[in-house]
């Protein structure tokens, strides 16, 4: 049961780690974001990550690898923990910092119900008219992230940032076999290493030019626009999908709970909408939102869904049930009642393909 430090409201839908209710974040963002900043600094300290000031300080070398554009002083690391200012020069590992594993298809990918692995785009982009049984996805988990979500479902990657497990380009070439039909880069978030990912995909595309091999991305969208466009072209030509996790509509909410702005995420999503329209047989863009009790309300869903529908009503939208994790593990699960209402609202906004994900996590009780 959390208590808001500003209005003193007590509720099971207020995360104790944040100690802020949604209303106070929206109505008093200046004070709320100062409190939120203290929370993020405390939790980032546990993993040896940089302070949030690296996002706003005036001095330091600017890193343009993602949308954060950190200003990194000598001896400091960027927000993601992968870039360091060493004696006045920004340095990092040349190879991809990641781990990987194979998932048999169909897999639990958020986009699985609309991607080519479900048979869409056969025979150009898929090996099967239906689900690609017998084939597999190479899941590449990118270490590091340019968000700092207090509800992170994969927070364990923070333990690997200092260790920096690298995978060389040639290793991807070696592990891909004739049953590998797609590669999905996720994390953490791929954005801080998107230039490496583009290089790897081009390398693989050259070596597997005579067969189907799709390139997919799961991201918060806070990417360098030029790099994202280059990846989008690879995904477009290969039959791959780009899934944006549009976490919040309101920027203050996004900053309070993820540590950073979401303005570029929506701008990047909009910039790819035209490319999405050009490949109707397999959706290029898919959006998702995690339904976090107390913070992602029906009003928030309506705003996000309306934005997506204004670009293209056929863009698929997944509403994901929340699992209490990391620093927000004291929040309740998403209720079935809320999920059904959220789906109905998204459809009323004009979206034609809305899905509820993680049904097994939904609770039957109505959250008040």
pLDDT for the residue numbered 162: 87
What's the farthest any 2 CA atoms get from each other in the chain? 63
- Altogether, the residues listed in the chain come to a count of 368
Task: Identify the CA nearest to 184 among candidates 201, 196, 171, 167.
Answer: 201
Instruction: Return the SS3 of 145.
Output: coil
Distance CA 188, CA 165 (A): 14
Of 121-135, 302-316, 353-367, the one with minimum mean pLDDT is 353-367
pLDDT for the residue numbered 367: 41
Model confidence at 364, pLDDT cuts 50, 70, 90, reads confident
pLDDT for 279-305, tens place per residue?
989 999 999 999 999 999 999 999 999
CB–CB of 110/289 below 8 Å?
no
Supply the DSSP symbol for 77: B
Distance CA 163, CA 168 (A): 16
Say if residue 365's pLDDT is above 60.
no
User: What DSSP element (H or E) covers 100?
Assistant: strand 96-104
pLDDT for 198-230, tens place per residue?
999 999 999 999 999 999 999 999 999 999 999
pLDDT for the residue numbered 283: 96
Model confidence at 368, pLDDT cuts 50, 70, 90, reads very low
Q: What integer best gives the mean pLDDT of the chain?
A: 96
> Residue 119: which region, alpha, beta or left (left: phi > 0; alpha: psi -120 to 50)?
left
User: What DSSP element (H or E) covers 50?
Assistant: none
Other C-beta atoms lying within 10 Å of the C-beta of residue 166: 13
- Which pTM value belongs to this model? 0.96
At a CB cut-off of 8 Å and minimum separation 6, what does 237 contact? Answer: none
Distance CA 36, CA 82 (A): 24
User: Which domains can be identified in the chain, with CATH numbers?
Assistant: 96-361 (3.20.20.70)
């Amino acid at each position: 049961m959390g208590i808001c430090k500003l209005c003193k409201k007590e509720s099971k839908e207020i995360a104790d780690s944040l100690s802020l209710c949604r209303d106070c974040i929206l109505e008093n963002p200046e004070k709320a974001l100062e409190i939120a900043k203290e929370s993020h600094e405390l939790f980032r300290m546990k993993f040896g990550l940089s302070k949030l000031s690296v996002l706003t300080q005036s001095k330091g070398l600017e890193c343009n690898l993602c949308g954060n554009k950190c200003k990194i002083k000598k001896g400091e690391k960027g927000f993601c923990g992968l870039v360091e200012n060493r004696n006045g020069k920004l340095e990092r590992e040349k190879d991809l910092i990641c781990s990987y594993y194979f998932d048999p298809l169909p897999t639990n990918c958020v986009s699985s119900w609309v991607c080519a692995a479900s048979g869409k785009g056969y025979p150009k982009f898929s090996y099967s008219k239906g689900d690609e049984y017998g084939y597999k996805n190479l899941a590449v988990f990118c270490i590091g992230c340019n968000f700092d979500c207090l509800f992170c479902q994969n927070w364990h990657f923070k333990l690997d940032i200092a260790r920096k497990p690298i995978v060389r380009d040639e290793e991807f070439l070696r592990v891909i076999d004739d049953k590998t039909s797609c590669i999905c880069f996720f994390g953490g978030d791929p954005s801080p290493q998107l230039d490496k990912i583009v290089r790897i995909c081009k390398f693989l595309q050259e070596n597997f030019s005579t067969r189907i091999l799709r390139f997919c991305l799961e991201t918060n969208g806070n990417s360098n626009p030029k790099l994202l466009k280059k990846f989008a072209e690879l995904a477009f030509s290969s039959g791959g999908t780009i899934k944006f996790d549009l976490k919040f509509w309101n920027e203050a909410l996004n900053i309070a709970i993820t540590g950073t702005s979401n303005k570029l995420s929506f701008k990047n999503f909009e910039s790819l909408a035209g490319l999405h329209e050009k490949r109707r047989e397999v959706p290029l863009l898919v959006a998702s939102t995690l339904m976090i009790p107390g913070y992602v309300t029906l009003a928030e869903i309506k705003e996000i869904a309306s934005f997506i529908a204004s670009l293209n009503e056929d863009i698929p939208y997944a509403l994901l049930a929340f699992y209490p994790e990391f620093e927000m593990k004291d929040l309740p699960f998403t209720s079935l009642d809320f999920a059904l209402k959220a789906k109905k609202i998204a459809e009323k906004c004009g979206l034609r393909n809305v899905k509820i994900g993680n049904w097994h996590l939904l609770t039957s009780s109505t959250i008040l």
